[in-house]
Chain A
Amino acid sequence: GAVVSQHPSRVICKSGTSVKIECRSLDFQATTMFWYRQFPKQSLMLMATSNEGSKATYEQGVEKDKFLINHASLTLSTLTVTSAHPEDSSFYICSASPGFMNTEAFFGQGTRLTVV
């Protein structure tokens, strides 16, 4: 199946700094990618939809100035957590679908962010 690669898998940063997470579709082009956040023992929560060549669409309650999304090419989307705080510590996952109808999502490996 299609492969989505996410990097880094783990990152520890100091409070107040920014962290960038990359999501790449390795063998297909994705005009749309999705970013999720998952807290321990909870389900995936959609944060935003990343659209190639245009602004991301954020879900209600997600601060767009804090979680910057850039989808500069058909195979790469980045999520930057700006001015990170300990409460931003979480598991961040991206996904993309190669099909026209979004019939199957392929997920990255996830990034465990710890803000100290």
Chain B
Amino acid sequence: SQKIEQNSEALNIQEGKTATLTCNYTNYSPAYLQWYRQDPGRGPVFLLLIRENEKEKRKERLKVTFDTTLKQSLFHITASQPADSATYLCAPLNYGQNFVFGPGTRLSVLP
């Protein structure tokens, strides 16, 4: 069955540093992968989508990579700020597939 893992339950980094979050999946080959941010007590908010034929996607301070050989996506936040503190969820998907999310990584950016 499909399995999604995210590198760690929690990640603490210092303000200004680059945060790197990992998403690994097994037993399927997604056509695309999405990253979401979730703040406590709120629904997730879409951040980025990367397709299987794209190696890298950027949006402002965010960068996502997608390695279909390693079955892994990396999510980077450069020049991190305390406001970036949240839980980040990955969702490797195929078209028409119901959304399946990884367990999430809770990022804390310390001032």
Contacts and interface: CB of A to CB of B under 8 A. Distances in A.
Interface of A: 1, 4, 6, 34, 41-44, 46, 49, 91, 93, 95, 101-110, 112
A112 B41 contact: yes
Q: Secondary structure at chain A's binding surface: helix, strand, loop or mixed?
A: loop
B103 A91 contact: no
Interface of B: 9, 32, 34, 36, 41-46, 49, 89, 91, 93, 95-104, 106
B53 to A, nearest CB: 14
Contacts of A49: 98
B49 A104 contact: yes
Given A93-B43, A104-B49, 13 more contacts: A1-B46, A4-B43, A43-B102, A44-B89, A44-B99, A44-B101, A95-B99, A101-B95, A102-B99, A105-B91, A108-B43, A109-B42, A110-B41
Contacts of A91: 41
Closest 5 CB pairs of A and B: A107-B43, A43-B103, A110-B43, A93-B43, A101-B95
